[in-house]
Amino acid sequence: MGAAIQKSDGGGRRRRGRRSSRPMAEINVTPFVDVMLVLLIIFMVAAPLLTVGVPVDLPKTAASALPGDQEEPLTVTMTADGRIQIQTSDTPRDQLVAKLRAIAAERESDKVFLRADGAIPYENVMQVMGALNAGGFSNVGLVTDTGGPSLDGSGQ
């Protein structure tokens, strides 16, 4: 992209000797457009190749999408020895969905907090989350403690 020199004859008059020349003030954008189109094609081809998926064998549950709501949430606790408690009362696994449906019928909010011991397998937690959803609670919040490891490499 350079400027060209345009010779001027001074409005139709001819000068003898030195001719005056002035720089051309027009920019040639054709090379710029060519480069931009090539870059656009390169990015359009390369962008789908940059997305990487990690295959994970996720557990099967009856969960659906989670909307939000108000009111005091219900608390369900899963202990390390396999017990499930709704608020403070023990509940057998086979009666969990029935009790949750009865509670959901009396409440306005579908919000529930799930507290699960860290030693419980992920699949068991997901099964209880599916039971919560089947019982009428679709707004599930997982309760954790603070002070766990950060995954940014800072050590804490």
Q: How far apart are CA 127 and CA 113, in angstroms?
A: 15
Helix (H) and strand (E) counts in the chain: 3, 7
Q: Among candidates 5, 31, 7, 30, which has minimal Cα distance to 19?
A: 7
Q: What does the alpha-carbon distance between residue 105 and residue 86 come to, in Å, rounded to a whole number?
A: 15
Q: Could you list the pLDDT tens digit for every one of the 156 residues in the chain?
A: 555 555 555 555 555 556 667 777 788 888 889 999 999 999 888 887 765 544 544 445 555 544 544 566 788 888 888 888 888 888 898 999 999 999 888 888 888 888 888 888 889 989 999 999 999 888 888 877 766 666 776 655
Helix (H) or strand (E) holding 118: none
Pick from 69, 44, 58, 42: which is nearest to 129 by CA? 58
